[in-house]
């Protein structure tokens, strides 16, 4: 009986050991398989873009305006318009997003009704389709604000601000990316130790001084993370700017905030869907996609490098 009991317990131990190993191996295998599939698809897409687009890129392609209905020439107005759109969007969204996150985290209680209402609004804003933002920008920024400015200060028949323009497209994109900045900033604020804030208050600093001197510098890497995510989405979205400022063919650069502009994402969309000769525009299409990827990766790299330097500086101090 003693031997049988020992055999049964040994079998149970062996069975449980294999069960634990198999229960850990299966999720790891599935996860690794998913990662490999994603990386493989990404590599195929990037390889196809690089192979078909690298031959198109030249100094003339990067520095000249489009010609012959975008069947020849370059994409410099689209590059300039994309960079201007991203910069204006970032300038508009970062201060509002950071101040909102600080208000929710530092000034409001998590259990208050207003805080819950604001968080519901942020979540709903993040779930709205991008095309809806474009329609909102058309109705609110152009139809309401722009036409209101024209009716108050400009009495001519030609619209000045009540028309699609780069400023309205930037503000629309800032609304689209606002939840990303708020959420990433709040996550960064939660990582700041409470002892650090208490030490600041103990030394006689006010709440505003603590936010300026302690909280914001410590949360800056997280704020830059939100800026990186906002840049990624802002550089690739097309639907919000179709109605608010992007133009199909403009062989000049926007010089004022109320000018229309070319944008690389919209440029790609038009050439891929509305070109009368797809084969003629395919090299330009691939070249534009490759330039957009390089521009996006470069902006990301600069932001990541700046964030890394801030983190190293914080570690040294």
The pLDDT of residue 2: 47
Q: Identify the residue whose tokens are 């999720």.
A: 27
Least confident of 100-114, 144-158, 298-312: 298-312
Query: Is a pLDDT exceeding 50 seen at residue 87?
Result: yes
Label residue 145 by pLDDT band (50, 70, 90): very high
pLDDT > 90 in the chain, percent? 19
pLDDT in tens, 214-246: 888 888 888 888 888 888 888 878 888 988 988
Token pair 């914080």 in the structure block, residue:
314
Alpha-carbon Rg for the chain in angstroms: 26
Q: pLDDT class for 168, splitting at 50, 70, 90?
A: very high
Q: Among 14-18, 95-99, 150-154, 268-272, name the one with the lowest average pLDDT.
A: 14-18
Q: pLDDT value at position 30? A: 85
pLDDT grade for 142, boundaries at 50, 70 and 90: very high
What's the CA gap between 308 and 120, in Å, rounded?
33
What value does the mean pLDDT of the chain take?
A: 83
The per-residue pLDDT for range 31-59, each reduced to its tens digit, is 889 999 999 999 999 999 999 888 888 88
> Six-digit token pair at 66?
């489009």
Q: State yes or no: pLDDT of 65 exceeds 60.
A: yes
Cα distance between residue 43 and residue 108, in whole Å:
45
Confidence at 6, pLDDT banded by 50, 70, 90:
low
C-alpha dist (Å) from residue 87 to 33, 80, 90, 116, 227: 38, 11, 5, 31, 11
User: In this predicted structure, what is the pLDDT of residue 232?
Assistant: 81
User: Between 286 and 109, where is the model more confident?
Assistant: 286
- 106 exposure class (CB count in 10 Å sphere: 0-12, 13-18, 19+): middle
Burial status of residue 86 (CB atoms within 10 A of its CB: 0-12, 13-18, 19 or more): buried
Interval 257-276 mean pLDDT? 85
At 136 the pLDDT is 93
Is pLDDT of 81 > 70? yes
């Amino acid at each position: 009986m003693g031997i049988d009991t020992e055999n049964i317990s040994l079998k149970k131990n062996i069975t449980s050991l294999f069960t634990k190993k198999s229960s850990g191996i299966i999720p790891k295998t599935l996860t690794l398989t998913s990662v490999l599939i994603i990386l493989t698809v990404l590599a195929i897409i990037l390889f196809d873009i690089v192979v078909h687009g690298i031959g198109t890129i030249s100094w003339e392609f990067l520095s000249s305006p489009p010609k012959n209905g975008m069947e020849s020439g370059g994409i410099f107005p689209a590059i300039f318009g994309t960079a201007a759109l991203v910069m204006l969007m970032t300038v508009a969204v970062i201060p509002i997003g950071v101040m909102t996150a600080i208000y929710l985290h530092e000034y409001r209680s998590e259990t208050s009704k207003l805080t819950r209402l604001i968080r519901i609004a942020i979540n709903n804003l993040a779930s709205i389709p991008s095309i809806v933002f474009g329609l909102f920008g058309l109705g609110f920024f152009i139809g309401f604000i722009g036409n209101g400015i024209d009716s108050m200060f400009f009495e001519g028949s030609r619209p000045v601000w009540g028309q699609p323009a780069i400023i309205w497209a930037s503000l629309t994109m800032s609304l689209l990316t606002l939840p990303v900045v708020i959420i990433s900033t709040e996550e960064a604020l939660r990582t700041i130790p409470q002892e650090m804030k208490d030490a600041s208050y103990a030394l006689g600093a006010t709440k505003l001084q603590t936010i300026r001197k302690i909280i914001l510098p410590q949360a800056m890497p997280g704020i830059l993370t939100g800026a990186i995510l906002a840049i990624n989405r802002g550089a690739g979205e097309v639907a919000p700017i179709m109605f608010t400022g992007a133009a199909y063919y403009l062989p000049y650069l926007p010089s004022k905030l109320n000018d229309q502009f070319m944008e690389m994402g919209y440029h790609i969309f038009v050439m891929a869907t509305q070109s009368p000769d797809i084969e003629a525009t395919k090299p330009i299409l691939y070249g534009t996609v490759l330039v957009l990827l390089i521009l996006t990766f470069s902006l990301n790299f600069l932001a990541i490098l700046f964030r890394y330097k801030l983190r190293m500086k914080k570690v040294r101090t």
